[in-house]
Amino acid sequence: MKSKVIILTSFLLLACGNVQSKKDSIVLQNTEIRKVPQFEADSAYFHIEKQLSFGPRVPQTKAHNNCSEYLLSKLSSFCDAAQIQQGMVELYNGEVIPCKNIIGIFSPEKKSRILLCAHWDSRPFSDQESDVKKQKLAVSGADDGASGVAVLLEMARLFSIQKPNVGVDIVLFDVEDYGKPDFYTGKVYTDHSWCLGSQYWSKNPHKINYTARYGILLDMVGANGATFRKEQFSNYYAVNIVNKVWNEAKELGFSSCFLDEIGGAVTDDHLYVNQLAKIPCIDIIRQEIQSETGFAAYWHTQEDDMRNISKETLYKVGQTLLSVIYSEK
């Protein structure tokens, strides 16, 4: 993940609406049955392991290139169309490097569309390590990056079997986690050194005049015991989508994971999708409001590996999103 501006609040929102329990389907207006596929957490877990098998996915490395080929091949096998959007982006220190956003498209003919996104690159620095000798080591990024991608890959597999009623675009953003490290003392050339792939896509979408009804960003969604609060920028730009997702999670019995609380304001990919692409987009992201950084202890360290990943958390996030998408008409 990127540098984050954390603005914490402490009040609890009241849950709204009457809900009913559901598993594989729910009743709509007492007559229509909506079938929702079962999210397979084992599949998502495998996709995290596979991404990590290439090594840290730092731009301009062999691991990054090999992983991009894998992700494109998976989306190509599931989606109606898939592509890599290539561009050039400027880092915090003025260096210009290539960017590869990986995109999968379902039902391109449909005008009503939903955007689903995550970042697939790894942070080049472990700048939250207490050991100075480790701070310039790249992060594996099991939770911070790979978990969100893995959930979307499993969703894509299910979409290929049972198409939703709406068009879906999956965008895997690159160069998200290359923001200025804490140890850097040189000249900084930009105030927006994080989320470079989403900034590029938001200014240059993969389709001219592209728009979507809303977007959902996944970031750090696979850790054991993870909880998700309502991120503040999400609430500001797309509170109706926040409520849609959190209410769906409550109906599924996942309220202990999707907390009905306000979290911090996070500078993440969704901020630029909202501000530049003008698409209301929310961020489902793990926050630890009692920690000094606002995130889990393994964030931007060498500890962000498979030891933290939970199939239960992956299932709760994936099943919630499937229920949201398949409820759209």
Q: What does each C-alpha distance from 149 to 11, 49, 233 come to in angstroms?
A: 31, 11, 22
The answer as to whether 9 is a domain residue is no
pTM for this predicted structure:
0.91
Phi, psi of 245 (to 5 degrees): -70, -45
DSSP-derived 3-state class of residue 252: coil
The answer as to whether 65 is a domain residue is yes
Domain that holds residue 215: 25-326
The amino acid sitting at 272 is Y
Asked if 172 and 152 touch (Cβ cutoff 8 Å), the reply is: yes
From first to last of the 329 residues of the chain, give the pLDDT tens digit.
454 444 444 333 333 333 333 334 333 343 345 699 999 999 999 999 999 999 999 999 999 999 999 999 999 999 999 999 999 999 999 999 999 999 999 999 999 999 999 999 999 999 999 999 999 999 999 999 999 999 999 999 999 999 999 999 999 999 999 999 999 999 999 989 999 999 999 999 999 999 999 999 999 999 999 999 999 999 999 999 999 999 999 999 999 999 999 999 999 999 999 999 999 999 999 999 889 999 999 999 999 999 999 999 999 999 999 999 999 99
What is the residue whose two structure tokens read 């926050």?
287
Count how many domains the chain has: 1
The enclosing domain of 238 has a CATH number of 3.40.630.10
Among the listed residues 273, 156, 149, 153, the one whose alpha carbon sits nearest the alpha carbon of residue 212: 273
The answer as to whether 6 is a domain residue is no
Token digits for 109?
């003919």
Phi, psi of 51 (to 5 degrees): -60, -45
Q: Cα separation of 113 and 287, whole Å?
A: 29
Phi, psi of 185 (to 5 degrees): -120, 5
The answer as to whether 20 is a domain residue is no
Token digits for 7?
């603005």
Asked if 171 and 73 touch (Cβ cutoff 8 Å), the reply is: no
The answer as to whether 94 is a domain residue is yes
The answer as to whether 1 is a domain residue is no
Asked if 102 and 69 touch (Cβ cutoff 8 Å), the reply is: no
The answer as to whether 13 is a domain residue is no
What is the residue whose two structure tokens read 């599949």?
43
DSSP tag of 225: T
Asked if 259 and 11 touch (Cβ cutoff 8 Å), the reply is: no
The answer as to whether 7 is a domain residue is no
Residues with Cβ within 8 Å of residue 75, at least 6 apart in sequence: 82, 102, 103, 104, 153, 156, 170
